[in-house]
Amino acid sequence: MNADPAAQRRLLDLADTDAELDRTAHRRRTLAELAEIAGLEAQLRARRDAVIAADTLISDLDRDSRRLETEIEAVRAREDRDRNLLKQGVGARQVSDLEHELDTLQRRQAALEDDLLELMERRENADADAAKAREALAATEAQLADATGRRDAAFTELDDLVRRRTADRAALTAELPADLLTLYDRIRAQKGTGAALLRSRRCGACRLELDRSALVKLRDAAPDAVLRCEECGVVLIRTPQSGL
């Protein structure tokens, strides 16, 4: 294949543009904010679960407290009934039974009140834990919002760069012969780079110094001949800096 040397040199500009587009795409995929956001999202799920667990515990404690309060009220009502019976005057056997029952009810009430006090203390601790869980959740939400904002700002910057470089690429490809561009694109798809400068007898793509026989072929080739690196296959662009 032959192509005007000036057109071949424009392949270097195209290769630089494509390399920058590749670097931009890589940077978009590997932004530090992406890993940070993933970590914060996992942390956010855990902290939401912690809030739910804290609220569930409080709900359970409240339910148990209401049950104990109901039992205490029932015991007190039974005590009042027994005391009223004693005041009304009953037989000696009933008095003994009522007094025994009152003693049992008092012990039961004391035990229930102790349980209720313990639940109230647990409820107080649960409230404190729930408040801490909500604070932690709010902090993580704020961190996630900040990281998301930084990611979006970086995306906007990178997307703008891609738009500009894509426009540059379109302008460059419009000036290139179709067969030369097709060759360049095919090599780039296979190798990652389509063209490179031959500088000081070294390929700019694979960085290897060409052997003497390859250099002789390059030197003796016509100026418009499209030549490729024998090592990596990219189009080699010859200039006065090539050392031929």
One DSSP character per residue, 8-54 reads HHHHHHHHHHHHHHHHHHHHHHT-HHHHHHHHHHHHHHHHHHHHHHH
153 pLDDT above the threshold of 80: yes
Phi, psi values for residue 208, rounded to 5°: -95, 145
What is the mean pLDDT of the segment spanning 47-53? 97
pLDDT for 11: 96
Question: What's the pLDDT score for residue 243?
Answer: 75
As a whole number of angstroms, the distance between CA 178 and CA 184 comes to 10
Structure confidence at residue 216 (pLDDT): 85
Model pLDDT, residue 240: 83
Element containing residue 92 per DSSP (H, E): helix 92-175
Q: What is the pTM of this model?
A: 0.77
Close Cβ partners of 47 (under 8 Å, ≥ 6 residues apart): 133, 136, 137, 140
Q: 207-227: per-residue pLDDT in tens?
A: 998 888 888 888 889 999 999
Span 114-126, pLDDT tens digits: 999 999 999 999 9
